[in-house]
Each structure stands twice: as structure tokens, then as C-alpha cells.
């Protein structure tokens, strides 16, 4: 096989949930396309890679030119609620349900001895400050219902500590054990969010 094509296939094959066969199909389809899709993809990728960074406040990926992300800039979201999630895909899932209209905080992972994820690996350095400065009254944990999720939740609660007038809540038991948020249908997630319980 041509070495340039081989290199491309390897790049695609490494992407999440793809593999060698999917990589081959994608590369073939791109290289045989006559409408310039390969160039558009390459340009969009270069542009995003050069300009998209985590929001310094909450961790949502955003355009570096805008400073803070769309959620942190939106004053109508300063309603005292802060939802803590593992990653950006959880924000997208929650936004689809439209049940939440506060601010987010992305941890960027979960504590895990097995995976070697330690507290320093999580995006928590500014979390207590956020809770105080943004007048947060409810911290909502929307983390996976796993041992790692619960361990992380307890750790984050200890980091935030006791701030007057702040209560903590977690999603109701509609989230199945071991379940990631993005495996839930919108209805189940909305129910679990609406029926969240104080902890
Ligand atoms: Zn933000």
C-alpha cells in the first residue's frame, strides 16, 4: 500500500470507536471524493486544532479568541446552579434535554487507581473559588454511577468543603449502576436530573 495512504488509515484507525476497517473506508471515501471533502476536512481540523481550547473557567472547549465559553459568558446561566460532569460529551447530553440552565464544570476524568488518575489530573484547581465567586447555591453531581464516579464525587465535595448556603445533590437512581450519561435516553436523564436528591 502507498505509504501516505497507509499513514492516513493509521491515523483514523486510532480514533475512538474506529479501527483498521473503518479507517480504510473513511480514507477511501475521502480520497475518491471529487467535491473537495478531504480539503474541507483538513482545513476544519487545522482551524479547530489551532483555535479551540478548554475554557479557563469551566473546561468546556471553546474558541480561544472568545476568552470564556458560551456558558460562562451567558449571564442568564448565573442562576446559582453548578453542574459537575466528567467531560464535554456529558454537557452536550444534558443540553439536549434542556432541563438544566446553570453553569457547568468539567472535571476531565474520574479518580481511578486502576487507570492512575489522581486528583492533580482533574480540573479542580479553581472549583472552590468558582463556588464562592459565582454565588453558587447548589452543586449538582452528574457523574457516572460507578465506583470511580462516587469516589470522585466525595473527593470533589471535600475540595469544595463547607461553603455557607451551598447544598450538594446527585442524580436520582434512574441512572443505572455503571451507567454513563450518554447511554441514557433523554427522558430517563431528565427524570434523574429533575428528581435529584440532596447529599
Ligand atoms: Zn466556561
Report how far residue 106's alpha carbon sits from residue 77's, in angstroms, rounded to the nearest whole number: 16
Where are the domains positioned within the chain?
A: 3-49, 76-198
Report how far residue 156's alpha carbon sits from residue 140's, in angstroms, rounded to the nearest whole number: 11
Helix (H) or strand (E) holding 5: helix 3-13
CB neighbours of 116 closer than 8 A, spacing ≥ 6?
none
Q: Locate 166 and state its grid cell.
A: 451551598
DSSP assignment letter at 106 = E
CATH number for the domain running over 76-198: 3.40.1360.10
- How far apart are the CA of 73 and the centre of ligand 1, in A? 7
Q: What is the pLDDT of residue 61?
A: 96
- How far apart are the CA of 111 and the centre of ligand 1, in A? 22
pLDDT digits 0-9 by tens, 11-37: 999 998 999 999 999 999 999 999 999
- How far apart are the CA of 84 and the centre of ligand 1, in A? 12
- How far apart are the CA of 128 and the centre of ligand 1, in A? 15
- How far apart are the CA of 190 and the centre of ligand 1, in A? 23
- How far apart are the CA of 9 and the centre of ligand 1, in A? 34
Q: What is the pLDDT of residue 191?
A: 78
- How far apart are the CA of 4 and the centre of ligand 1, in A? 39
CB neighbours of 17 closer than 8 A, spacing ≥ 6?
none
| Residue reference for cell 476531565 | 108
Q: What is the pLDDT of residue 163?
A: 81
Q: What is the pLDDT of residue 171?
A: 85
Q: What is the pLDDT of residue 62?
A: 95
DSSP assignment letter at 30 = H
- How far apart are the CA of 106 and the centre of ligand 1, in A? 9
- How far apart are the CA of 25 and the centre of ligand 1, in A? 36
- The candidate with the shortest Cα–Cα distance to 131, out of 92, 90, 165, is 165
Q: What is the pLDDT of residue 174?
A: 55
Q: What is the pLDDT of residue 179?
A: 62
Q: Which residues of the chain have pLDDT under 70?
A: 173-179, 182-183
- How far apart are the CA of 37 and the centre of ligand 1, in A? 32
Q: What is the pLDDT of residue 79?
A: 92
Q: What is the pLDDT of residue 175?
A: 59
pTM summary value: 0.83
What top-level class would CATH report for the domain 3-49? mainly alpha
Q: What is the pLDDT of residue 139?
A: 96
- How far apart are the CA of 154 and the centre of ligand 1, in A? 23
Instruction: Decide: 55 and 72 in contact? Cβ < 8 Å.
Output: yes
Amino acid at each position: 500500500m502507498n505509504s501516505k495512504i497507509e499513514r492516513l488509515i493509521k491515523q483514523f484507525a486510532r480514533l475512538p470507536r474506529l479501527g483498521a476497517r473503518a479507517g480504510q473506508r473513511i480514507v477511501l471515501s475521502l480520497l475518491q471524493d471529487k467535491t473537495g471533502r478531504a480539503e474541507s476536512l483538513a482545513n476544519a481540523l487545522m482551524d479547530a486544532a489551532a483555535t479551540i481550547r478548554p475554557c479557563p473557567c469551566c473546561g468546556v472547549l471553546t474558541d480561544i479568541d472568545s476568552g470564556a465559553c458560551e456558558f460562562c459568558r451567558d449571564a442568564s446561566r448565573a442562576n446559582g446552579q453548578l453542574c459537575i460532569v466528567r467531560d464535554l460529551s456529558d454537557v452536550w447530553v444534558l443540553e439536549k434535554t434542556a432541563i438544566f440552565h446553570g453553569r457547568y464544570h468539567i472535571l476531565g476524568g474520574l479518580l481511578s487507581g486502576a487507570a492512575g488518575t489522581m486528583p492533580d489530573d482533574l480540573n479542580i484547581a479553581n472549583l472552590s473559588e468558582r463556588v464562592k465567586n459565582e454565588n453558587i447555591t447548589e452543586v449538582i453531581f452528574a457523574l457516572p454511577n460507578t465506583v470511580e464516579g462516587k469516589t470522585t464525587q466525595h473527593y470533589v465535595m471535600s475540595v469544595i468543603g463547607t461553603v455557607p448556603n451551598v447544598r450538594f445533590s446527585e442524580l436520582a437512581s434512574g441512572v443505572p449502576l455503571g451507567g454513563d450519561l450518554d447511554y441514557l435516553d433523554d427522558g430517563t436523564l431528565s427524570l434523574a436530573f429533575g428528581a435529584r436528591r440532596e447529599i
